[in-house]
Chain A
């Protein structure tokens, strides 16, 4: 009985720890991926045109990119080791399959981004301009590749493929690596994750450029940066929404409970309506709801009258298939995180659309109210990314590997004191990091770049750090 109680609290502590460290880590990762590509684009423009304004923007956003990259790297180390620390039973169960993409990510992607970024930071003026430009592209490619392997690993947890269960050791054993890397869940999720990462990068760039444009700093440079950011924002927002919708169909087929929880849809419906907003609780009898008829069926099944399964029906089926127990995730978390993610995504699309319209009317620089709005929208992609992952991870519960391993059976059998210690430790460290990081970012983002002549811009300090 005692170990039973200990097991429960270790479980909830370990879940909190994973949630906190992962959400924190993933604040920085999409910005690294998105801004890395944008800095490479800025530098390519500088290289092609020889215009110092492009070069200024490369340096300016490059500096912010590096501050962000550093914190992504150091929090990423924790990610890799906490599977073993807190989820050792999970690690033994999935290691044959889950470990492979993690190792490959290190070998293919992390070496590439860190090594070429080192060349990029220290190589300006020391290597040829062409190699310097190539190094930021290689680093950017590394970040894009790293996302592929980690999303493939996560997709296997959402929808296991290419495996069998070893009868003797009860481990999941890989039978087809190609199947793991071409998992339909992975293809759908990777596109959505990448598009939202580019969106994060572009909105970040637009927000900061907008601030400087409003203050009248370096109009030539920030005008250019803003235009690049706006184009990318529009394209990435459309891609994020389109690929997200595609993912929803995949989800309805593979994890119907997650979809039902996202909608708080208790009973199976044909031509189901989409709930925009609910006031009161999310039980069967809400106080007030705004619903759009048929839209949920369209979203989930692509047909006007398609059947969408309800929580009660799926629970009954699951209990029959997997044995007694609750198979319903925390509904209010799923419902609200899903809505907030989608809502913020639409808002960002509107941001990009309005900005594009202002650029075409040549009014962007003369619209202080819009520029102020654009700066505040800086927060939106980070929130949307977090809500998206919270939704997809909470929505998979009680499973850690869907249909194969429950989260409660995955946690390390260790005294809760250890987990509590590291939970408090990591939370304290991460809070401190957040304060330092945000302070430094704001500081650097507000200092306008120095306008230099081409000769001055070429000068390289003897000591970089």
Chain B
């Protein structure tokens, strides 16, 4: 199959879909980001099994709906940019396999853990929750860093590299950044959703993680900025978005210390949005950068579906996305109460809590 690389700039519809794919990934990382963080932190904020159950129950009603953002992002990429979908998922073969395996065990763990009282059974599922959260949190960062930095793609979108081309220092720094960022995001979420000791521990951890995350994310963004392929694009020069993100990140520690838990959570969410938007802007007008030669970069135009498909998809998205946002927000409203150890509800009252 011969792929003609169009030199044309993307049409409005193609730009819209590039933007919508970004929105879907942002939704995914904002929502499952704190799920990953909560799972990664579970062993560190809990002293006993009851604590662990409190932690799991903060995301119990929502984790599955959050994961659907990934499925929708994958499906939308398949529909709107088939070549992007095909190249990325076949190229990141083993990394994706690891992510899928991790997500399988993690999802099962949430649903199966409490179904038996056997201590050994519970312990195994606890491990699945930790590794199943930490591993994807790391690997998604590695993968997105690779998109931006370039992957060994040659003519006709064929891969010439192997698994180890994907784990370069830059990509590993990207992975470390997302791991820390999601964990911090999970810590601010737990601060907002729990009571008592778990909440206090989550605060302490957030305070300790914030500076580390700041260093990693700053280093990663600086490196990205320095090697950017498309420096002339809006939002990167001047680097407004990264600066907004880093400011928000710098503020997290202070917000947590002041018990402005709602604002702290919004701040970590903002960092995630700024972080991934920066990466996407950096890609534009490509969807994948070739490390072999700029001639082999896959552009939005080359990857996109035809106009008709994009039009149909736009109508569907226009009608149903608001509906999904509406009922998903409604769930968070229903379960807005803090989770506490049975019998200990409303024991601790902070003066300044939510936004």
Which residues in A have some Cβ–Cβ distance to B below 8 Å?
Answer: 63, 66-67, 69-71, 73-78, 80-81, 83-86, 88-89, 91-100, 102-108, 110-112, 114-119, 121-123, 126-127, 166, 168-171, 173-175, 177, 412-414, 418, 421-422, 425-426, 429, 433, 436, 440, 443-444, 461-465
Contact = CB atoms under 8 A, between A and B. Distances in A.
Interface string B56-80: 1100111011011011101111111
A76 B67 CA distance: 11
A463 B331 contact: no
A173 B328 contact: no
B352 interface: no
Q: Mostly helix, strand, loop or mixed at chain B's interface?
A: helix
B131 interface: no
B53 interface: yes
B334 A126 contact: yes
A103 B79 contact: yes
Contact of A106 (B68, B97, B340): B68
B56 A74 contact: no
Given A77-B70, A102-B78, A174-B312, 12 more contacts: A66-B111, A88-B89, A96-B305, A106-B68, A106-B72, A115-B65, A171-B82, A414-B93, A426-B97, A443-B116, A464-B60, A465-B57
Contact of B1 (A63, A76, A89, A96): A89
B3 A121 contact: no
B75 A99 contact: yes
Contacts of A414: 90, 93, 159
Contacts of B50: 463
B234 interface: no
B335 interface: yes
A64 B62 CA distance: 20
Name, among A67, A73, A92, A421, the residue most crowded by chain B CB atoms within 10 Å (CB to CB): A92
7 contacts: A63-B115, A76-B71, A106-B74, A118-B61, A119-B61, A413-B158, A444-B115
Given A96-B309, A99-B305, A110-B72, A73 B79 contact: no
B87 to A, nearest CB: 7
B272 interface: no
A74 B93 contact: no
A463 B89 contact: no
B104 to A, nearest CB: 4
A412 B86 CA distance: 9
B57 A464 contact: yes
Contacts of B340: 462
B45 to A, nearest CB: 16
A119 B76 CA distance: 26
Contacts of A70: 107-108, 110-112
Contact of B306 (A73, A92, A119, A173): A173
Nearest to B158: A413
A107 B334 contact: no
Contact of B104 (A69, A75, A115): A75
Contacts of A122: 60-61, 335
A445 B234 CA distance: 59
A169 B342 contact: no
Contact of B342 (A74, A114, A418, A462): A462
B342 A463 contact: yes
B94 interface: yes
B308 interface: yes
Contacts of A461: 342
Contacts of A74: 103-104, 107-108
Contacts of A103: 72, 75-76, 78-80, 313, 316
A107 B67 contact: no
Interface stretch (B200-208, B212-220, B273-281, B319-327): B319-327
A80 B74 contact: yes
B89 A84 contact: yes
Q: Mostly helix, strand, loop or mixed at chain A's interface?
A: helix
A413 B54 CA distance: 47
Contact of A111 (B68, B80, B159): B68
Closest 4 pairs (CB-CB, A-B)? A95-B82, A84-B89, A99-B79, A99-B78
A99 B85 contact: yes
B78 A95 contact: yes
A91 B86 contact: yes
B222 interface: no
Contact of B53 (A92, A440, A463): A463
A404 to B, nearest CB: 13
B264 interface: no
Nearest to B89: A84
Name, among A105, A169, A425, A429, the residue most crowded by chain B CB atoms within 10 Å (CB to CB): A169
A100 B79 contact: yes
A465 B56 CA distance: 7
Interface string B22-60: 000000000000000000000000000010011011001
Nearest to A462: B342
Contacts of B321: 107
B327 A67 contact: no
A98 B85 CA distance: 12
Given A78-B100, A81-B100, A115-B327, A110 B68 contact: yes
Contacts of A429: 101, 104-105
B4 interface: yes
B8 to A, nearest CB: 13
B114 interface: yes
Contacts of B86: 84, 88-89, 91-92, 95, 412
Contacts of B312: 100, 174, 177
Interface in B89-142: 89-90, 93-94, 96-97, 100-101, 103-105, 107-108, 110-116
B83 interface: yes
Given A96-B305, A123-B334, A177-B312, A67 B71 contact: no
A447 B54 CA distance: 26
B298 to A, nearest CB: 11
B244 interface: no
A92 to B, nearest CB: 5
B210 interface: no
Contacts of A126: 334-335
A168 B78 CA distance: 20
B68 A422 contact: no
Contacts of A71: 108
A67 B83 contact: no
